[in-house]
Amino acid sequence: MSPICEPDRRGRVRRAESSRKRHTARGKLLPCERVERLIDLGSLFLEVGQLAAGGLDNDEAPEAPLHSSEEPDTPRGPALGQ
């Protein structure tokens, strides 16, 4: 498994195993695998979707943004040399 597809530093798994199996059984790449093929090897990669929640994934505070751990993260990084 690639570093992009591994759980984040809190150990959160981004996709349920049943969902992962169903997706790959259809011959599709997982979102993290698609991103891995797009970004340049060795480039810096930042997932801004995780930063947007400010660590409030459970929406305990009223000012917490709507965020679900099931939603894909929004990546930022150079792709195809650009």
Number of domains in the chain: 1
Amino acid type, 80: L
Task: Report yes or no on 81 lying in a domain.
Answer: no
What phi, psi does 76 have (nearest 5°)?
Answer: -135, 130
pLDDT tens readout for residues 16-46: 778 888 888 999 988 878 888 888 777 776 6
CA distance to 16, 18, 47, 76, 81, per residue, from 43 (Å): 28, 31, 13, 10, 10
Lowest mean pLDDT among 7-11, 15-19, 38-42, 74-78: 7-11
**Range of the structural domain that residue 45 is part of:** 17-76
